[in-house]
Amino acid sequence: MHGQSEAKTHDEYIAALDEPRRSEIRALHELVLRTVPELEPTMMGGALGYGPFHYKYASGREGDATLVGIANNKQYISLYVIAANEDEGYIAGSYQSKLPKASIGKGCVRIKRLSDVDLDVVADLLRHAAQVGPAVRGGKAT
């Protein structure tokens, strides 16, 4: 299983994975639950989500997203962090030097193996995301 899943729960999603990915994603899932318990767990887009929010752009386009997401992909684990503010932009990018073995884009931290990253730094990123809140350019989260 890669990326999106038909799983209805986090446990179902994780149980469907092969080792060692199952243990790694379970550990990351548990880290999110411990670190930012205020972010409600949900399944969204066929992946694990935490902190659901609804957004609406000035154009009228609207949708649902999560502040944090975890997805299993063929070559890596994706940790989506959709948090930004005017000062820093997307905050995931500010963690590149602290997570040198991860590939970091705007709102995604790609991890080949969980042992490649410092989980204390990942926890700091999660707390920072929960503090900053959702990135919704040209609109607002509701």
Q: pLDDT over 70 for what percent of the chain?
A: 92
What CA–CA distance (Å, rounded) separates 127 from 110?
A: 18
Encoded tokens for 77 = 């684990």
Q: What are phi and psi of 47, to 5 degrees?
A: -140, 170
Q: What is the pLDDT of residues 89-118, one digit of tens each?
A: 899 999 999 999 999 998 999 999 999 999
Q: Which domains does the chain have, with CATH numbers?
A: 10-141 (3.90.1150.200)
Residue type at position 85: N
**pLDDT given for residue 139 in this prediction:** 45
Which pTM was predicted? 0.90
Give the pLDDT band of residue 136 (cuts 50, 70, 90): low
